Homo-oligomer: A and B are copies of this chain.
Amino acid sequence: MALIVKKFGGSSVATPEKILAVARRVLTEKSLEDKVVVVVSAMGDTTDDLISLANAVMDPVYNNSREMDMLLATGEQISIALLSMAFARLGQPAISLTGMQAGVQSNTAYGKGRILDITPERVLAELDKGKIVVVAGFQGVTPDGDIITLGRGGSDTSAVALAGALRADACEIFTDVDGIYSADPRVVPTARKMKEITYNEMLEMARLGAGVMQPRSVEMGKFYGVPIHVRSTFTQNEGTFIREEYTVEEKEFIIRGVTHDTNVAKIAVLGVPDRPGIAYKLFSALAEANIDVDMIVQSVRSTQKNIIDMVFTIAQPDIVQAKQIVEKIGEELGTMGVQVEENVAKVSVVGAGMLGNPGIAANMFGALADAEINIEVISTSEISISCVIKAEQVNEAVQAIHARFFSAS
């Protein structure tokens, strides 16, 4: 007997037929004694349709986030009811639970709620009655009893957190790819599917652009120590397990993956007086506006004393607001100007193995140099190295780096 949490995304439940297919799929893999929780997202375009309705009514000047969550949470509520009916049709007792009913406790950050705790008594009670429990992903309840939606990738987070709270044997994330690859297979056709990857490596890959999993859900898995199995909706093949440590020796590759992210913009503040407190002033203003700053490079000008240039990267949607803030502060500080470049991308290598292996960075820079790709900004972490390059060279860069590190495969 095993207790398994399975998560299916919106495209897997987009139509009544697909909902029935998900129910059949779950039952195919379920042995009689297994306890199964299924977490689902809203059907296909439901969320977009609800947002259109809201846009026709609301004035975005006002903060509508609580009501938006009340509205959007109906999407998952529809899916769970229908999927439970589908199980019943196949002779399998099932019950749907909203995020609130499943005990998904969130803070009150409407639209981007963070799970604080799971109180899964109802889920456990229904499992004990022999039912499959179908839980609405992407939603929870605030301390005030309000309905809230979780941030991006929220359904994955719901599933992993539930699996953790239920001490499930595994959490299976069904997706349209069959696992985690060493690079985006659309860019690198020879990319290899991994059997396993550690939470930390997956977190770093997600942070650096690997779209399969959102960082928050991987953090949850790490927190609870739940193995996450990322696998295909369309096949029954094994996918990739995300765990604390490798269970099989799979370390022939020091680098686990090459990721890229085109949702990047670069801002350069030129001719900044080199005084204490300048960086604080600049970046605290950006933080106040909720703008995430990623890579930061401060460079000294050899020709001018006490003058530096400050270069940093942010996500592209923040560019207009960031530019306004930086220009205002730049004027106050008497800088020489602000340059914005949107046409950039970030390419990264990730792998816990690089800790004990010097030369990874050199190898990566060498691959880029051989491909005649210029590096604009470099940053490193314990388990990753990232370079900002021109956006139009990003595929070429990923291919060159992947070939350098994975040529043995």
User: A158 in the interface, Cβ–Cβ < 8 Å?
Assistant: no
Q: Give the residues in chain B near A77, CB-CB below 8 Å.
A: 70-71, 73-74, 77
User: A32 in the interface, Cβ–Cβ < 8 Å?
Assistant: no
User: A280 in the interface, Cβ–Cβ < 8 Å?
Assistant: no
Q: Give the residues in chain B near A84, CB-CB below 8 Å.
A: 67, 70
Contact with B along A61-80 (1 / 0, CB 8 A): 01110111011011001101
- Which among A52-60, A212-220, A253-261, A336-344 touches the partner chain? A52-60
Q: Which residues from 24 to 65 on chain A have a C-beta closer than 8 Å to any C-beta of chain B?
A: 50, 53-54, 56-59, 62-64
Q: Give the residues in chain B near A101, CB-CB below 8 Å.
A: 145-146
B78–A64 touching, CB < 8 Å: no
Q: Which residues from 61 to 111 on chain A have a C-beta closer than 8 Å to any C-beta of chain B?
A: 62-64, 66-68, 70-71, 73-74, 77-78, 80-82, 84-86, 88-89, 95-96, 98, 101
Q: Is the interface of A mostly helix, strand, loop or mixed?
A: helix
User: A19 in the interface, Cβ–Cβ < 8 Å?
Assistant: yes
A57–B145 touching, CB < 8 Å: no
A67–B88 touching, CB < 8 Å: yes
User: A334 in the interface, Cβ–Cβ < 8 Å?
Assistant: no
Question: Which of B57, B66, B78, B89 is A20 in contact with, Cβ under 8 Å?
Answer: B57
- Complex alpha-carbon distance, A70 and B58, angstroms: 26
User: A122 in the interface, Cβ–Cβ < 8 Å?
Assistant: yes
A89-B62, A122-B145 are contacts. A53–B78 as well, Cβ < 8 Å? Answer: yes
A71–B67 touching, CB < 8 Å: no
Contact with B along A247-267 (1 / 0, CB 8 A): 000000000000000000000
A78–B71 touching, CB < 8 Å: yes
B85–A54 touching, CB < 8 Å: yes
Q: Give the residues in chain B near A57, CB-CB below 8 Å.
A: 16, 19-20, 82, 85-86, 89
Q: Give the residues in chain B near A70, CB-CB below 8 Å.
A: 77, 80-81, 84, 96, 98
Q: List 11 A-B contacts (CB under 8 A).
A: A16-B56, A53-B78, A58-B89, A62-B89, A67-B81, A67-B82, A70-B81, A70-B84, A71-B77, A71-B81, A101-B145
Known contacts A19-B57, A70-B77, A70-B80; 7 further A-B pairs (Cβ under 8 A): A58-B89, A59-B85, A62-B85, A67-B85, A67-B95, A71-B78, A74-B78
